Structure formats: C-alpha cells, structure tokens
Amino acid sequence: MSLHAEIRVHTDNITGEIDPRIYGQYIENVEPDDRVIYGGVCDENGELRASVVEALHRMKVPVIRWGGNYGDVYQWKDGVGPKALRPRRPNYFWGGEESNRFGTHEFLELCNVLSAQPYININMGTGGLLEALAWLEYCNYGGHTFYTELRHEHGQDDPWKVPIWGIGNEAWGHWEACFAPPESYVRDFNQYAQYMRRLDPEIEVVAVGHTDRTWNQAVLTGMRQPADYLAIHLYGHSHLDRPENYEQLVALPLAFEQELGEVIRDLEVYAAVPIALTIDEWNVRHFVGGRLNRKSPRQMQDAIFAAGVFHVMHRLSQIVRMGNYVTMVNGNAPLRAWDDVITITPLYEVFRLYQQFMVGSAVKVEVVSPAYNITPFDWVSTPHDRASPLSTPYVDVSAVVSRAEQTLSIALVNRHSTQPIRVTTEIGGSVDYSLCDSVQLSGASPSALVSDLVQGSVQLQSLSARCWQTELPPLTITWLRWCEVQM
C-alpha cells in the first residue's frame, strides 16, 4: 500500500528567525582515546590540524562551546604562555593527563580560522569568582592591567572580545564540581554575572537551566539580573544492537520538543524578562551491549535524528537561539579524524546542508502524514527515567523564507526505513516561487556509514501554479530552494 502525505507551507506566516548558531559545535577534553581535542582538532603539541580545519571550514561552524564537565576542574592559567612551560596535570574529571598544550590562545585561534563565535564556560566548580574575572580580563579587557600585559607577553595584543560566557555546567548534577541546590546556584550566578558584566558590559551570560520544573523556578525567580540565555542539555540514545532502535531513535526529536515546551512554559511563568534558550549540549549517544561507545561512527540514522532536532529548533526559533552538538571532531562527531584519515559522515552533510539552505525566517508548516507509535528506550534528559510514548509522523518538514535572497527553502525528511512516501505540497502566501535548486541525502540502510548526495535530481510534478507532488525515497533528507518569480 502506497503512503501519502500532505503539506501546506504558509510563507506569509513567520514564526521566528532562525539563528545560524543553532548549528553550532562543542569541544571538551574528555577521555584521551576519544581524541576530541588532541588527535582531533589539534596534534599532541596543540597545533591545529590543517586537514581538520579545512573539513570544518567546508561544513561551517557558527559557534563553538568550550567547557563541560572538565571545565569545572580546569585551571585556565595552565593553558597560556610558552607550551614547554605549561604544567602537565591529571584530567581530574575524565581521567588520563592534560598537557595544556591546547589552551585559551589555541581555542580562540580555532574559532578565528573557522569564523566561529567563541563560547567559554568558566570554572565555577573549583575556580572561584576571581579566577573567572581574571580569565575574562585576559580575553576581553583592553586596559593596562596584570592580565592584559600577560596577554601581550603571550603574543596577543588586542583583546579577543569573547562574546558568550557560561556560568556553571550541569550544576544540578551530583557528578559536577559545581553541584549545588538551585537556590545556592542562583545566588552564586548572581555574583558572577554582576562582576563579569561590570568588567565587560558587552558579554552575554548563560545560566544553567534544566528539564526539572523545580530547578527552573528557583533559578529564574532568584536572578537579580536575568541571564541572556538559559542552557538545556538533551541527549538521544541509539542502542545499535536492539530491535526497533531506528524507529525509537528518529522519534526522539519529538521527545526533545516536549521537554523544551515545558522549559519554555517555565520561562513564560518565572522569568522577569524574555530569556533565550540555548541547547548547548545535545547529540545521539551510541550504545552496544548497554555500554556507551563514543568511537562508534555516526550513521545515516543519526543524520535523520539530527534533521529532526533541527526542525524542532526551527519550530521554536522565537526562543531557541543557539545549539552546540557534542562533539565537533571524533567522539560522537559529524567529522571523524583518526590519525591521518578524515571521514565525512552522513551527519557532516546534514550540518553543512542545513546551514546552506535553512537560515532565515521560519514559516508555519502544516503536515498530514502517516505515523507510527513507539516508546523511546531511555530518557532524553535528567531527571526523567522514561520518555512517554510518541506518535511519530514519517514525514517531517521545515520551511524558511529569506527576504534578502528572495527565496523559500523547504527541508523534507522521510523517516520510513523501507517505504517511499508521495507528498503533495501547496505553497500559500502572497509571493510566487519557482524551483531553483535541490539536494537529496540518502542512505542504503539506517546503519549506513556513508550517504549518497545528489544535487538537482528531485523531480516535481506540478498540479497547479502553487501545488506539486514528489516522491520521497525512504531514509532521505531533501532540501528544495525556490526563487521568487519576478512579475
């Protein structure tokens, strides 16, 4: 039996502006053999790897967050100055050793060569307020102080003006060095934010949010001056050796959307002024035999999952302003750089093509699609132990208009693993469009490690001036760009 979906795109109904930073990335020095930093973005001496930088430049990286669990035990002063003099220390969180050859200068050089906005998490766990202020002074202050002179000695005359600073990381988690009840966390947040903003009034600060209602209420009502962003962490789980793993994995973006909807309601009720959301940690973790495997390469099913997450961010673009995928290179990353071999995963193409097509004004989309019901295997956030059953449409669609470029772009996902779906799409609004570009990403199976990418091959059957049909093959993501017809 053939499957059919109906789509209506309302080009005059703008629902939000898509911030390119939702396609951002994340790095952290985790377990040594994960090679996220050393053996990933840089060599063992902390020098950036040219082949990796070139591949990331092609993908595009709008923002990079540097922080995480290790950030709450990291001493930034260890990572500046001549590399031969930098102390080698234990990685107190993840194990192994930290050479400190990759530090502040190297991170900001990476951001500079990629034209990526830097986002630094201060050490709220073992560092203290003065250490955070010293790091901000070293990076951003333009005067003549001890730390600005130290920056000059280390070869950087002008301040970098790092725009985004995170105050704490997962402070609700017992594993964190900054672990605290929400009332204690927000008291400390207020102090850090007050003095950091006084030193540099132009920075934006990020507070630790949660998918727990009690945490958000205490933090949001306890802020003396609101944060610029509230950070939420969401993780999908892919159990590669379990039946129906694909179906539950690609349904998880809907669970993300439910969680984010609750957080948005917290912001509406408890925040004194509008605060943006950043999903500054998210990804899909691979499990085999119940054990996490960060070295498992990203697959086609991960690309379908990520496309669904981007569509959620598009639908919530009025408030979701940034995202950081964990991690950028190796680990769970879109780019695998193992020794001298650079591997482009299906996930890499998703990040590249969504940035190419899907930036602009999100518009309302109505979709009527066949669906399936499934309960995710695991939680997608703490503290929830089990996600609720999800009714998951096979076809997921997002659309954006660019008034500057006079274009309409539509991304269509067919989540079905075996069946093509014929879609009928009607474009409503005051502007007429003509198809000017198309790209389709497909995989031979959910577990495929490589994907096929074909440009200009999508065939449309016109039903009227504003209505057309096409067939979406299984396991595909399709991007269509329409140009305004000049009358």
| Low-confidence stretches of the chain (pLDDT beneath 50) | none
What's the confidence (pLDDT) of residue 386? Answer: 63
Looking at residue 328, what is its pLDDT?
A: 97
Domains of the chain, first to last: 3-13+363-484 (2.60.40.1180), 19-359 (3.20.20.80)
Quick one: pLDDT at residue 316?
Answer: 98
* Angle, vertex CA 325, rays to CA 48 and CA 442, nearest 5: 100
3-state SS track over the chain: CCEEEEEEEEEEEEEEECCHHHHEEEECCCCHHHCCCECCCECCCCCECHHHHHHHHHHCCCEEEECCCHHHHCCHHHHCCCHHHCCCEECCCCCCEECCCCCHHHHHHHHHHCCCEEEEECCCCCCCHHHHHHHHHHHHCCCCCHHHHHHHHCCCCCCCCCCEEECCCCCCCCCCCCCCCHHHHHHHHHHHHHHHHHHCCCCEEEEECCCCHHHHHHHHHHCCCCCCEEEEEEEEEEECCCCCHHHHHHHHHHHHHHHHHHHHHHHHHHCCCCCEEEEEEEEEEEEECCEECCCCCCCHHHHHHHHHHHHHHHHCCCCEEEEEEECCECCCCCEEEECCEEEECHHHHHHHHHHHHCCCEEEEEEEECCEEEECCCCCCCCCCCCCCCEEEECEEEEEEEECCCCEEEEEEEECCCCCCEEEEEEEECCCCEEEEEEEEEECCCCCCCCCEEEECCCCCEEEECCEEEEEECCCEEEEEEEEECCC
Per-residue burial over 162-185, b if 16 or more Cβ lie within 10 Å, else e, is bbbbbbbbbbbeeebbbbbebeeb
**The whole model's pTM is what?**
0.97
How many whole angstroms from its chain centre is CA 322? Answer: 7
pLDDT digits (tens, 9 = 90+) for 378-436: 888 877 666 678 999 999 999 999 988 999 999 999 999 999 999 999 999 888 899 99
pLDDT for residue 345 = 96
Cβ(365)–Cβ(426) below 8 Å: no
Backbone angles phi, psi at 428, to 5 degrees: -100, 160
119 exposure class (CB count in 10 Å sphere: 0-12, 13-18, 19+):
buried
Q: Which pLDDT value is given to residue 32?
A: 84
Residue 303 CB-density burial (10 A; 0-12 exposed, 13-18 middle, 19+ buried):
buried
Give the pLDDT confidence score for residue 436 in this predicted structure: 94
